[in-house]
Every structure is written in C-alpha cells, then in structure tokens.
Amino acid sequence: MQIDVLTLFPEMFKGPITESIVKIARDKRLLKIKLHNLRTWTKDRHRTADDKPFGGGGGMVMKVEPIFRALKDISKRKERSKNKKTSIVLLTPQGRRLNQEIVKKLAGLKRVVLVCGHYEGVDERIRSFVDDEISVGDYITSCGEIPACIVIDAIARLIPGVLGNPDSPHTESFEQSLLEYPQYTRPRIFNGMEVPEILLGGNHKKIEKWRKDEAIKRTRVRRPDLCRRRNK
C-alpha cells in the first residue's frame, strides 16, 4: 500500500513514520509513504501557499492552486495503474469523524492521498478535487499534519502482516462496536489489587466468555453510543 501526503511541513512526520508500528510496516515493505512539500507546486519566488481570506477576517487560507497542481501531478501517476484503488482525503475539522470502519476501508485501498489543511482553513474550491473529508475529532489541532499521522498509524496496523499477532486487530477497541476487555500482566498482585482468578486457570473458553462479557459491560458504561450502534 502507498500513502502520499501533501503537506507544508514534511519535517513534522520524521518521528511518527520512523518509529513503532509504522516503521515496521515500512521496513517490511508493506507500506510506502511519500511526503510531498506543497510549496513545490507554488509559482512565485516566495513560494506562497496561503493568502488573506476574501471578505476579511482573521487568519490565512491555504491557496487552491498549489494543491490543485499537486493533485494533478499525482493523478498522472495514478493513471499509469488504473486498476489500483485510490482515495484523496482532505483532513479538516469539517469532515466526517474518523472511526474504525473508515480506517478499514482506507486500509483496503491500494493508495491513499492525504491533504493536510492548515492556517484558518483551505480555499473552498479545494473540496472539488478530493474524494473524502475526515476529522479526527471534535477539537482543533494547529495543522492537518497531526491528524494525518493518526490516520497513517491507524491504517498501518490493519495492513496484513504488519502486526506480529494476526488476531490483534480483531480484538482491539471499536471492533464489533465494543471497547476492549481489561488486560493484565505480571505481577499477579500489585498494591493489593489482584488479577481476576479466571485469567489464571487456563480454561480458554471461560476466558473468552469473560472477556466478551467484560467488553460489553465496559462499553455500556463508557460508550453507550457504541452499544446503540451495535444493536441497530
């Protein structure tokens, strides 16, 4: 799989894409990440990628031309392999909220292009050239690069062969609209708090049932909205 990132700040990705699961995915050649500096597609000597908003107001707005040119250039490469599925995604607080189902769909593609918004926002006309708009939550980050790192990490762990245990993605939170069950490791007793006895007996059927019951209980208490979605 390949992820292209259109960004004004490629240096921000140095840590997130060179550590942990994303690094493993890249080292195994299961994930290719290409960072594209949007200023490459500017035309003036100052490499201007933003400007003041028409109508006044605070902040700066990302210009449409550099993003259009970048996407046009990338789309040329896309046309060389027409059978590969590609999605162009704008990261914006106005997009649909990211969830595990969206991540699964993205992870199933051959190529994802992430467009990182910045400043006060993007020129509205940019939306004509993307396939999807995604928000990582109902809060504001200072740039789209941070949400892009979240999307990349979430995708990477779902690519077959990346995680050491192939069952891991299927037992994590948000799978089947449930939060993950409680987890324990050594020591068996800490500050008077003991590991549940059922996890120590070796009866895998009972352990599996306990984990499912605990996942349901935890979801009802902490995320009742997930329970409602599960029951639809």
Whether the predicted pLDDT of 169 surpasses 80: no
**For range 205-223, the mean pLDDT:** 96
Q: Residue 26: its pLDDT value, please?
A: 98
For the chain, domains (ranges, CATH) are 2-156 (3.40.1280.10), 171-230 (1.10.1270.20)
Q: Which two tokens stand for residue 175?
A: 């799978």
Q: Residue 231: its pLDDT value, please?
A: 75
- pTM listed for this prediction: 0.88
Per residue in 217-228, pLDDT (tens digit) is 999 999 999 888
Least confident of 30-34, 83-87, 124-128, 161-165: 83-87
Confidence grade of residue 82 (pLDDT, cut at 50, 70, 90): low
Confidence grade of residue 83 (pLDDT, cut at 50, 70, 90): very low
Contact present, 4 and 111 (Cβ < 8 Å): yes
Give CA separation, 211 vs 157, 171, 177, 201, 217, in Å: 22, 10, 15, 14, 10
